[in-house]
Structure 1
Amino acid sequence: MRARRKDYAASLAPSLRIALEGEVARILEPLLFAAKVVAAYQPMKEELSPLPALEMARAMGKTTVLPAFAARDSRMTFHEGDATAAGPWGLLQPPIDSPPLAPDLVLVPLIACDLLGNRIGMGQGHYDRALEGLRGQATLVGIGWDFQLLADTFAADPWDQPLHAFAAPSGLTEFST
């Protein structure tokens, strides 16, 4: 799925990619409107970018946060601000000196998810550990290209945090988690 995601993203003309990511933001608009604090992520090259949705949330007056780490072995937390500081994993993040905020809507990156809301991430467990503390307080929405939602289900590990929904350019699929 990683290779497929990489190949697909590379095949998109920049204008089409921008349009598809804008469509996902439009699809998420009701969830953004209902939220107070919206969390997203700095996308890797092949990931569908949640940044248009984050911009829409800001335009609605919502507080927006991004993941941040104090150190490599620390739990991921969400902080307000632009991704301008170097994080311990080599990615830009908001400055860690601001207090962490608990989002009530989290836009989550993924490799794939199934129709039960089971998510395959990058394998480090950062999101599962961070989302465990938000369970019951936040709506968790996976963000990806349409093909990343799999019809076949897969077994979840006990620590995996299921998603409430999956947003792709073709629409929002809600799960009964």
Structure 2
Amino acid sequence: MNKIEIRNDALLFRHSYASALWPNTRNSLEKQLAQIVLPRLIGARVVAGYHPMRDEISPYPILDALGEGQTAVLPWFGDRDEQMMFRQAPATESGPWNVLQPGADAPALAPDVVLVPLVAADRLGTRIGHGKGHYDRALSHLREGNPALVTIGLAWEPQIRKEPLEPDPWDVPLDAIATPAEWIQCK
């Protein structure tokens, strides 16, 4: 299968999986994810999350539990063609894709850690997103300014593929992936 076919299949599968979860089960799984990720964020000052869309696993249990001296930021877009940047949470207004984002007056901050949504990923850190390239461009730019930037993909367990995905030259590999059941160190 090509990348478009893998993405389409993975989106359908993610929707089926997430919509089959009872709300209490989903909340429990997202709290389990936070328990796996939070110990790995000690020392991070600025942690980027995202406002979940469609059937993405929510990073909010992680962001809501950040410690003293840690700041949560979320993606922000001025318009659809603008490069993604990160502004201090909370998400208070609708962005160009009708996804909640911080206000334009929220401070713009460069994260130490980016929690990255995904459609599918392999255990080597190759990620398939929604296909617009926003995260790959933003992560590449952030790594230029901070080579120590840590990227952690967040996923439901079934989104992790056993077989390797073929990365495109512009794909930025993830350092790690977390699911409610495991931590996968990719680098």
User: Normalised by the size of structure 2, how large is the TM-score?
Assistant: 0.90
Aligned counterparts of 2:54 and 2:96: Cα–Cα separation in 1: 19
The residue type paired with residue 134 of structure 1 is: L
**1:100 counterpart = 2:111:** no
What's the counterpart of residue 174 of structure 1?
Answer: 185
* Matched residue, 1:32: 41
1:117 equivalent in alignment to 2:125: yes
| Cα distance in 1 between the residues matched to 2:118 and 2:54 | 13
Q: Distance in 1 between matches of 2:173 and 2:107?
A: 26
Q: What is the identity, as a one-letter code, of the residue corresponding to 1:118?
A: T
Partner of 2:30, secondary structure, is: helix
* Structure 2 counterparts to residues 9-20 of structure 1, below 5 A: 9-20=18-29
**Which runs of structure 1 show a deviation greater than 4 angstroms over 4 or more consecutive aligned residues?**
none
Give the Cα–Cα distance (whole angstroms) in 2 for the partners of residues 12 and 89 of structure 1. Answer: 25
| CA displacement at 1:34 relative to structure 2 | 2.4
Structure 1 residue 134: Cα displacement: 2.0
Are 1:70 and 2:78 matched, yes or no? yes
Query: What runs of 5+ residues in structure 1 fail to find an aligned partner?
Result: none
Q: 2:99 aligned to 72, 91, 106, which one?
A: 91
Question: Where in structure 2 are there 5+ consecutive unaligned residues?
Answer: 1-9
1:163 aligns with 2:180: no
The corresponding residue for 1:82 is 90
**1:45/1:60 CA distance change after superposition, 3 Å:** farther
Matched residue type, 2:130: M
TM-score of the superposed pair, with normalisation by structure 1:
0.95
Per-residue deviation, 1:116:
1.5
> How many pairs are equivalent?
175
Letter in 1 for 2:131: G
Secondary structure at the residue paired with 1:127? Answer: helix
Superposition CA RMSD, Å: 1.2
2:139 to 109, 114, 131: 131
Q: 2:30 corresponds to which residue?
A: 21
State the percentage of identical aligned residues. Answer: 47
Instruction: Report the CA distance between 1:31 and its aligned residue.
Output: 1.9
Pair 1:45–1:88, CA change in 2 (3 A): closer
